[in-house]
Every structure is written in structure tokens, then in C-alpha cells.
Amino acid sequence: QKEVEQDPGPLSVPEGAIVSLNCTYSNSAFQYFMWYRQYSRKGPELLMYTYSSGNKEDGRFTAQVDKSSKYISLFIRDSQPSDSATYLCAMSAWKTSYDKVIFGPGTSLSVIP
């Protein structure tokens, strides 16, 4: 079992839809959770960063963490064609400087005008 699993998609939605992107993980020590957006042929861009369980909202984006289920989500409201990209979840235990950030494989999202 991989440490972080993510449905690769592709996920295609109409403009204005609510998008739900998810990751599951196996390491219960993870406590820092991040979402990145990567456009084609560009470096990933940090979207959201949360610690432990709970919700965090930033504009049209909401990140949720459920540590009991080892499940994290990113919701995008009122999706726009400019949201079309690959979304990567990432997480870390970060108890020591040797704890790495583990990335999911990414979900490809297309928002159709």
C-alpha cells in the first residue's frame, strides 16, 4: 500500500460546479497537510496548508482533514476554467528533520466552459 493515494482522474466538470478532490493515507503520524496546484509544464504552487484535523477556507477553496479516517479533501466552489490543472496532496509527520513531505500522484482536473 502506498503511503498516499489519490485518484489520478482525469476529472472533468462544467464551469461553476463544486469540485471535490481527495487523498487517503496510511501513516497515522502525518499531521501537516498541503494541497498544491500544478499547471502543465510549471512547478507546483502551494494552495492550502493545514495542521491536524479540521477545515480551512481560503476564497473558493476549502481544505478538510479527517485524521480518524486518514482522509483529506480539497473543495473548489464555483469552479473556473482557470482551475484546470493537476492537484497534488502532500503531507508530513515532521517530528524530526528527517521526516519528509510525501506527495500524492495528483488528480488531473478539467473545468469545461
Q: Which residues bind other proteins (CB under 8 A)?
A: 32, 34, 36, 41-46, 49, 88, 90, 92, 94, 97, 100-101, 103-106, 108
Measured from the CB of residue 16, what is the shortest distance to other proteins in angstroms? 27
In the 3-class helix/strand/coil scheme, how is the chain assigned residue by residue? CCCEEECCCCEEEECCCCEEEEEEECCCCCCEEEEEEECCCCCCEEEEEEECCEEEEECCEEEEEECCCCEEEEEECCCCHHHCEEEEEEEECCCCCCCCCEECCCEEEEEEC
Measured from the CB of residue 60, what is the shortest distance to other proteins in angstroms? 20
The residue (of 82 and 113) whose beta carbon lies closer to other proteins is 82
The residue (of 62 and 92) whose beta carbon lies closer to other proteins is 92
